[in-house]
Structure 1
Amino acid sequence: MSGPSRRTLARALEALADFSDPSAALEQYLTPPEIAAHICHQARMQDDLAGWVVDLGTGTGMLAIGASLAGADRVVGIDVDRDALGLAEANAERIDEAGRDGLLEWVRGDATRPPLSVDDTDVTVVSNPPFGAQRGNRHADREFLETAQSIADVSYTIHNEGSQAFVESFAADEGGNVTHAFRAEFPIAKRFEFHTDAKRTLEAEVFRIEW
């Protein structure tokens, strides 16, 4: 299947800007270009880009733009934060091909209750949900999985290390099946006062689920 290589995607996504004033409550971190490229390349290889691609909690637009560059027919990025959507749109403008033919759209709304009507449409969800690291935000990734299950045929989601048993159990309970899983490094620069290291690397896990 023709399309940009994973390496080409990653190089293009490296041009995207990070949050200038990220929200700790929303766990706003830049999705690493390498992880986004891996997800979007895998989605293309699995023929998961033919319908709608919905990026839940799009943030900087990294996954949505990556999916568009990888050849998705239509991409919608959803975020509750107006400033994040402005950043995502600006990032898309940095890469002209990502906004081709008006097929890349940005929608303000709660990613766990997306304002979309996707009946009779093939949907692939891509998402880097909150890991639930902040107090009061535990298991935030579960809500994103619940949304993916409700609207998607296939989903690609990023989770904290050690999530495989939870994700596989959740998918099985909802009639889904984890078909692919891989580990990925998630570098995080010091962005908030509670960060004690100039930079640290989290081990993350990515799962493809057929619903």
Structure 2
Amino acid sequence: MEHKYLEWGTLYRISLGIARGLEYLHRGCNTRILHFDIKPHNILLDKEFTPKISDFGLAKVCTREESIISTLEARGTVGYIAPEVFCRSFGGVSHKSDVYSYGMMVLEMVGGRKNISPGVDHTSEIFFPRWVYKRVVLDGELGLKRITNEDEKTQARKMIIVSLWCIQTDPSNRPTMSKVIEMLEGSIDSLEVPPKPYLSSPPRPSSTEFSSGFTSLQVQSSTSLE
């Protein structure tokens, strides 16, 4: 079956739509809702490719004033869980944990791939955020497919820089979702490149339950991003 790929403008609008949805959960409700399982499988698209956040099975409700919350166990899916969720030495669990998951997901949207090194056999892995960070810092060709003009290149670069800010190990260095929206909608020239990610790539999950629904971003009959 021939795969159909979403255009960069559509990917950009999807990433912005998800950011707006998360911003509403974090700030738009009377109580703050932390999703704790932002990943491709939990993003649904309608026929206009408008994203909807789904599956609130791991969500936690807290007051808008609470900056740090307590959890008895790690919540989320391997590959998208913020460091502080599974190891408290990285910081407190908060709405910034959703920001991390969002960043990892958007990086997958941009790359159309998981943490697999390009040009090597399937047993070799690198941490994809480091690879893409190097490309941004060098300001060379991003090595991304289907970019046909400067507008698309700008959209891809915005998504990458914002995502790299979102996956900073220290939660205090991550932007809020309101700031994410501001950065995505603002000028590329106003975006600073964040510090280099230094966490190692997690082990590849053995179950297909953890595989990325954003790989190649295939558009099939389903309205989800799987």
TM-score > 0.5, shorter chain as reference: no
Q: Which structure: greater helix fraction?
A: 2
Work out which structure has the larger RCO, using CA pairs closer than 8 Å and 6 or more positions apart in sequence. Answer: 2
Q: Which one has the bigger strand percentage?
A: 1
